[in-house]
Chain A
Amino acid sequence: MLRNTLRGTVAALMLLPTAALAQAIPATVEAPIEITFYNYNLASAGIGADGTKKLIAEFMAANPLVKVNGVGVPAAEMGPRIQADVAAGQGPDIAQVVFQDLDFAAHNLGAHALDDIIPAAEIAAQTEGMSPNGLKLGVLDGKTYALAYTFSTPVLFYNADLFRAAGLDPEKPPHTWAEIESTALTIQEKTGAHGFDACIMGANGGASDWLLQSVVLSNGGRTMSEDRKTLTFAEPAAVEAISMLRGLADKGIYQNNAMAASLEAMAAKGLGMMLCTSALQSALIKGAKDKYELRDTTMPGFGDKQAVPTNSGSGLVIFASDPAKQRAAWELTKFLTSKRGYTIITSEIGYVPLRTDIVNDPQYLGEWVKQHPLVQPNIDQLSRLQPWVPYPGMNYRQVHKTMMDAMEMAVFGGVDVAETLKAAQVQAQQLMPN
């Protein structure tokens, strides 16, 4: 009894600071207000833009006092654009920030942690039903800066027809890297098509290390320590993972092809397996139409260890400082990450739903998931998801680039893996904040 009272008192005391802060933000939208939303799906012409416009329209219909000004900014330009506009005094109120840039947005661009501006109770209500691993994606240094919005997981797409032609069973796709190797060799031998491709590094993935982090994590290693102070991509566990990839490259299985080239090869039935972001599925489906049977499965692991998928994609980050705009931005965030929001994001744009409960609910995604089996591996992997961690400090892009250049050399350049990674780690460590 006493303990409960004590617990209750402590809980109430803990709520006090947040209650004090939360007084700054109004409880509802009280007057007409306009907010700008920087979004990279709007900068494309196609399903991404259409789905997003629909979401915004539905939100505005339900919240007549809020006008959302959606501005399309290509994903690669999102960071520089936000920076330029914040510097010019006209930053966005809410933006779709790629996870890679999250640290810079949080510490340099004035992004607000949700815990700082929104009452805890509201956050808890909104995040109920979200995958706990999915929630961790937007957490930095213990605070939630972003709610995962459009994100995807690594998925192994494969051509079932080529499998059959090579005498393999499409019902039993490879689940370990060793199996990938043998499957790829078999496909190459029996059908002449190339066996395997991946978006991990080099021409196909050098721009972003999300899949690389996943591969390293799957082997028990990390590219960076958990406290984000030390780079660890030259540690033995990571080196072992990279050496495995190097082995695949040496055998001619893993080649340094551009992503567009791989997509085209799949469409031309010249590629058996492709390990990449599930966001590519609509492009792959289009290329496979009437040509071959496209299937996919979860990402491969090392031997007995379960694979650890990371996420690619973006989260919603609030930049507004005016409390009324913060309230409006938060209402938009709530809608976009609601059950209805994720239903549209998954079924119409092609990303992964953060809410696992809508997957089987016939009112939301139930029917759709049954008709689109390709999305299933993503849902299966949600429970094992680990965040794609951004590098800290002002030099984060250079740190990332130094590491990725070394990775490319180590796998495709014929150099000593451990030495190359070690040299790069030393160099990049100098660029980390001290």
Chain B
Amino acid sequence: MATAEIAVPARQTRRRIASGRFNVTPWLYLFPALATFVVWIYEPLARAFFLSFFEWNMLPTAPLRYVGVHNYTNLFQLPKLWQSLRNSAVYILGLLPIAVLLPLAIAIITHDLPARWRNLYRAMIFVPMIIAPVVAAAVWRWLLDPGHGILNLGLQGLGSKPVGFLTDPNIAIWTIIFITGWKLVGFSTLILSAANANINPSLIEAARMDGASRWEIVRDVRLPLLSATLLFLVMLTILLGAQWTFSYINILTQGGPMGSTNNIYYILWDFGFSSLSVGWSAAAAVLLFVLFGILAAALLWLMDRYSFYDN
């Protein structure tokens, strides 16, 4: 451990990597996490990559039948694949405002309120997170039902026709986005509130003393300092948005009606992960990983470039 203190004197720029001198300390810190990932995620993934070129039913006694890239071509030839890719983009664009912008507004507005109101609002907005996705889906289906759901009864009272929130192919995807976002608002608000609270109040005070208006303070002080967290949440939404919607699609629409709520994750689950044929599920996994891996790499690079830290 002694190497930590002597290794780099305070004056030397931290960017210079001590060449030739291998420092074991950071690796010790990383070890528990890396060990977990290697054992429980990367090893199965590597095995999936290998298995994706075979057809196998997973029994140790059964033969593995080599099929080359057949599993991949099967996936690419799925009729609903391109529709699900398009839908994935719609999901991301629809979730971003609800999962990032709205919580940002909530975090900032509530920050300046008296403690009682602040905690109350935040708690109420957090409540959706305490119920299981299955239950949330079930309740929303009741509330949105065209025949006897409260929302449609209200709409009918106002004179309009009942809306098939989950049965109309044009609307269903927005309903799923809404339900997913509804569940997530508390999550993002919590993270942004924590990040917001970590902003040095003297910075805010200084700006206020400089005569900046409330909006200007937000724009010039808070937002830049929250940028890292915001970009993090954006990345989260883009990469995991499809997975977040999974429960609701699975319970409420199964990708329908007519594939209008399908997204890349669901279709790969439907035809791949849930298959008993290991080749299909392995190929689907690799496909998902590569696709989103490229996306993630790009986003990480962006985050690195545009994050602004208070130092």
Query: Which positions in A face B, CB cutoff 8 Å?
Result: 79-80, 83-84, 86-87, 89, 104, 108-110, 194, 202-203, 206-207, 255-258, 260-261, 264-265, 268, 270, 394-395, 397-398, 401-402, 405, 408-409, 412-413, 423-424, 427, 431
Contacts and interface: CB of A to CB of B under 8 A. Distances in A.
B110 interface: no
A87 B60 contact: yes
Contact of A268 (B147, B167, B254, B274): B147
> Which of A79, A89, A255, A261 has the largest number of chain B CB atoms within 10 A?
A261
B141 A258 contact: yes
B111 interface: no
Given A108-B276, A202-B256, A270 B79 contact: no
Contacts of A202: 256-257
A402 B145 CA distance: 28
A207 B254 contact: yes
Interface in B222-279: 252-254, 256-259, 270-271, 274-277, 279
7 contacts: A79-B276, A87-B60, A194-B147, A206-B254, A258-B166, A264-B145, A394-B57
Contacts of A104: 57, 276
Contacts of A402: 79
A409 B57 contact: no
A427 B77 contact: yes
A264 B166 CA distance: 15
B59 A265 contact: no
B148 interface: yes
Nearest to B262: A405
Contact of B276 (A258, A397, A424): A397
A278 B57 CA distance: 33
Contacts of B58: 83-84, 86-87
Contacts of A413: 258
Nearest to B279: A394
Contacts of A83: 57-59, 276
B108 to A, nearest CB: 39
A395 B258 contact: no
Interface of B: 55, 57-60, 62, 74, 77, 79-80, 138, 141-142, 145, 147-148, 166-167, 252-254, 256-259, 270-271, 274-277, 279-280
B59 A86 contact: yes
A401 B147 contact: no
Given A108-B57, A265-B147, A203 B62 contact: no
Contacts of B252: 258
B152 to A, nearest CB: 12
A110 B275 contact: no
Nearest to A420: B79
Q: Top 5 A-B pairs ranked by shortest CB distance?
A: A108-B57, A394-B277, A87-B58, A413-B258, A268-B148
Nearest to A415: B258
A256 B254 CA distance: 12
A395 B277 contact: yes
Contacts of B148: 264-265, 268, 270
A202 B147 CA distance: 19
Given A108-B276, A412-B257, 9 more contacts: A80-B274, A84-B58, A87-B59, A89-B60, A104-B276, A394-B57, A394-B276, A395-B74, A409-B258
B56 to A, nearest CB: 8
Contacts of A405: 79-80, 259
Contacts of A86: 58-59
Contacts of B57: 83, 104, 108-109, 394
A87 B276 CA distance: 12
Contacts of B274: 80, 397
> Which of A83, A265, A405 has the largest number of chain B CB atoms within 10 A?
A405
A225 B229 CA distance: 58
A203 B141 CA distance: 13
A270 B153 CA distance: 14
A261 B79 contact: no
B147 A270 contact: yes
A114 B41 CA distance: 41
A139 B260 CA distance: 38
A264 B60 CA distance: 46
Contacts of A260: 138, 141
A408 B55 CA distance: 29
B133 to A, nearest CB: 16
A241 B277 CA distance: 32
Contacts of B257: 202-203, 256, 408, 412
A261 B141 contact: yes
B267 to A, nearest CB: 10
A222 B158 CA distance: 48
A397 B277 CA distance: 9
B147 A261 contact: yes
Given A86-B59, A255-B167, A398 B275 contact: yes
A429 to B, nearest CB: 13
Contacts of B60: 87, 89
Nearest to A107: B57
Nearest to A82: B276
A408 B256 contact: yes
A104 B58 CA distance: 12
Contacts of A194: 147
Contacts of B271: 397-398, 401
A405 B74 CA distance: 16
B254 A110 contact: no
A412 B147 contact: no
A336 B8 CA distance: 75
Contact of B275 (A206, A264, A397): A397
A323 B203 CA distance: 79
A430 to B, nearest CB: 8
> Which of A84, A268, A395 has the largest number of chain B CB atoms within 10 A?
A395
A423 B80 CA distance: 13
A108 B142 CA distance: 41
Given A194-B147, A257-B167, A427 B141 contact: no
A82 to B, nearest CB: 9
A405 B78 CA distance: 11
Given A86-B59, A256-B167, A270-B147, A401 B258 contact: no
Given A194-B147, A203-B167, A110 B59 contact: yes
A194 B79 CA distance: 33
